[in-house]
């Protein structure tokens, strides 16, 4: 039975953190699936964090914190982090949209000095 557009949709249950983390791993392999928010790009320049560093974090970083609902009903936000060769740790806040697209919201040094 089709859903009634006049009825509000039920909120999606919050997925487990590892499910969202794993949902980042596949789309990040093709950079066409990534939308870099203006804020993230500005912070990358200001903090001297390259796009390659951010991609590495999304590809193999660990979860830092929990899962939050995004602005869209099919959007989940997480932070991934990874230690760089320099010894410093980079954090990337990314949202998974529709389980297929990624939005990089911001990037930051986790060990702010």
Greater model confidence, 7 or 88: 88
Q: Strands, E, within the chain: which ranges?
A: 34-36, 62-63, 68-69, 75-83, 89-97, 101-109
In a domain, 5, yes or no: no
In a domain, 35, yes or no: yes
pLDDT number for residue 1:
42
In a domain, 6, yes or no: no
Evaluate if residue 5 carries a pLDDT over 80.
no
Give me the chain's average pLDDT, please.
90
**Residue 74: CATH number of its domain:** 3.30.2310.40
d(CA 109, CA 83) in angstroms, rounded, equals: 10
What would the pLDDT profile of 25-80 be if each residue is shown by its tens digit?
989 999 999 999 999 999 999 999 999 999 999 999 999 999 999 999 899 999 99
Q: How many domains does the chain have?
A: 1
Evaluate if residue 2 carries a pLDDT over 50.
no
In a domain, 69, yes or no: yes
Residue 8 binned pLDDT confidence (cut-offs 50, 70, 90)? low
In percent, how much of the chain has pLDDT > 90?
81
In a domain, 86, yes or no: yes
Domain span holding position 103: 17-109
In a domain, 2, yes or no: no
In a domain, 71, yes or no: yes
In a domain, 11, yes or no: no
């Amino acid at each position: 039975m089709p859903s009634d557009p006049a009825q509000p949709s039920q909120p999606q249950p919050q997925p487990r953190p590892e499910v969202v983390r794993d949902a980042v791993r596949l789309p990040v392999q093709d950079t066409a699936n990534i939308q870099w928010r203006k804020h993230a790009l500005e912070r990358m320049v200001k903090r001297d964090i390259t796009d390659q560093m951010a991609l590495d974090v999304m590809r193999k970083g660990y979860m830092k914190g929990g899962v939050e609902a995004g602005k869209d009903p099919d959007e989940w936000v997480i932070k991934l982090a990874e230690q760089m060769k320099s010894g410093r740790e980079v954090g990337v806040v990314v949202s998974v949209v529709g389980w297929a697209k990624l939005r990089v919201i911001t990037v930051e040094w986790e060990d702010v000095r």
